[in-house]
């Protein structure tokens, strides 16, 4: 079945540091890939998505590229802010409508 593996957290960075959160997946067919973010006390929010190989999703300075050859969808941001502190989930969906999530990576950004 489908599965998503994320790097374990927490990830602690200083403000303006470069961020990478690794995500790899196993899926049959051609899944669509997503990053969701969960801020404290709030619901999951879609951060970005990519629906086919080599697509790059981007939003709010975050980027991720759908790499079919390495089955990866790593999240990157060039300069993080304190307000980026949250839990980030990599997810995929295939032929069904349901999402399969990774375990989440907590990001803590300090001044």
Pick one of 29, 69, 96, 111: the residue that binds another protein (CB under 8 A): 96
Residue 98 beta carbon to another protein: minimum distance, rounded to whole angstroms: 4
Give the single-character DSSP code of 67. Answer: B
Nearest to 15 by CA among 98, 85, 99, 64: 85
Give the single-character DSSP code of 72: B
Residue closer to another protein by CB (options 22, 93) is 93
| Residues contacting 67, CB < 8 A, separation 6+ | 53, 54, 73
Distance in Å, CB of 108 to another protein, minimum: 15
Q: Is 89 in the site for another protein (CB under 8 A)?
A: yes
Q: Kindly tell me which of 17 and 44 has the beta carbon lying closer to another protein.
A: 44
CA 44 to CA 87: how far, in whole Å?
9
Q: What's the CA gap between 82 and 19, in Å, rounded?
A: 12
> Does position 26 bind another protein by CB under 8 A?
no
Closest distance to another protein from the beta carbon of 100 (Å): 7
User: Which tokens sit at 38?
Assistant: 């969960």
| Interface positions with another protein (CB under 8 A) | 4, 32, 34, 41-46, 49, 51, 89, 91, 93, 95-104
């Amino acid at each position: 079945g489908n599965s998503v593996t994320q790097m374990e957290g927490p990830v602690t960075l200083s403000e303006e540091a470069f961020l990478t959160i690794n995500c790899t997946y196993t899926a049959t067919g051609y899944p669509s890939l997503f990053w969701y973010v969960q801020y404290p006390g709030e619901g999951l929010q879609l951060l970005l998505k990519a629906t086919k190989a080599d697509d790059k999703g981007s939003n709010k300075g975050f980027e991720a590229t759908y790499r079919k050859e390495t089955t990866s969808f790593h999240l990157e941001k060039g300069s993080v802010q304190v307000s980026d502190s949250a839990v980030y989930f990599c997810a995929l969906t295939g032929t069904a409508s349901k999402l399969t999530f990774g375990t989440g990576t907590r990001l803590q950004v300090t001044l």
